[in-house]
Amino acid sequence: MTVVQTRPAAPAPPAPQRRSVPGRIRVISGITVASLALLFAALAAGSASAREGLRVIGRDAGPQVVATAGLYLALSDMDAQVANVLVMGDAYPAQRREALARYESQRAEAGRTLLQAFELSGDNPAERDTVQSVLDGLGRYERLAGQALLLNEQSGHPPGPPPEQVVRTYRDATDLMRMVLLPQAYNLTLESGTIVRATYDEKAALAPLARTAVVVAGVLALCCLIWLQLFLARRFRRVFGPALLAATVTTGVALFFGVTVLAQDEQALRTAKSAGFDSVLTLARARAISNSMQGDQSRYLLDKERADTYEHTFLDRSLSVMYVNAGNLTDYHSAVATRSTGFLGLLGPELAGRQGAAVADAYRGFQAADRSFRDLAVSGRTNEAVAARLGGVKKAFDGYDQAMTKLADSHRKVFERSITTGEGALDNLWRLLPFAIGAIGLLVVAGVWPRLKEYR
Q: What is the largest CA-CA distance in the chain?
A: 154
Q: Give the model confidence (pLDDT) of 179-231 as tens digits.
A: 999 888 888 777 777 777 887 888 888 888 888 888 999 899 888 888 888 87
Residue 3 domain flag: no
Cα angle value 238/242/248 (rounded, 5°)? 110
Share of the chain above pLDDT 90, in %: 30
Q: Is residue 368 in some structural domain?
A: yes
Q: Please provide residue 344's backbone torsions phi and psi, each rounded to the nearest 5 degrees.
A: -110, -160
Is the Cβ–Cβ distance between 387 and 92 less than 8 Å?
no
Confidence of residue 132 (pLDDT cuts 50, 70, 90): confident
Q: What is the pLDDT of residue 177?
A: 92
> Cα–Cα distance between 438 and 435 in angstroms, integer?
5
CA 357/CA 391 separation, integer angstroms: 24
Could you give the count of Cα atoms lying within 13 Å of 432 in the half-sphere of its Cβ? 17
Contact 395, 253 (CB under 8 A): no
Give the H or E element holding residue 403: helix 394-453
Burial letters 243-254, b for 16+ CB under 10 A, else e: bbbbbbebbeeb
Tens of pLDDT, residue by residue over 253-281, are 888 988 898 888 888 888 888 888 888 88
CA atoms of 400 and 395, how far apart (whole Å):
9
Return the pLDDT at 311.
93
C-beta separation of 287 from 408 below 8 A: yes
7 domain residue, yes or no? no
Res. 172 pLDDT band, cuts 50 70 90: very high
- Indicate whether 10 belongs to any domain: no
| Domain ranges, residue 219 | 24-450
Choose the weakest-confidence range: 15-24, 297-306, 343-352: 15-24
Helices (H), 56-181: 61-88, 93-120, 125-155, 164-176
Residue 19 lies in a domain: no
The residue among 80, 82, 45, 32 whose CA lies nearest residue 430 is 45
Is residue 165 in some structural domain?
Answer: yes
- Report the alpha-carbon distance of residue 116 to residue 21 in Å, rounded: 66
End-to-end CA, the chain = 51
> What is the identity of the amino acid at 142?
E
**Count of beta carbons in the 10 Å neighbourhood of residue 126:** 11
Q: Which amino acid is at 117?
A: A
Specify the number of domains making up the chain: 1
User: Is 18 a domain residue?
Assistant: no
Residue 420 and residue 59 in contact, taking contact as beta carbons nearer than 8 Å:
no
Report pLDDT for 16: 47
**Residue 445: inside a domain:** yes
Whole-number average pLDDT of the chain: 85
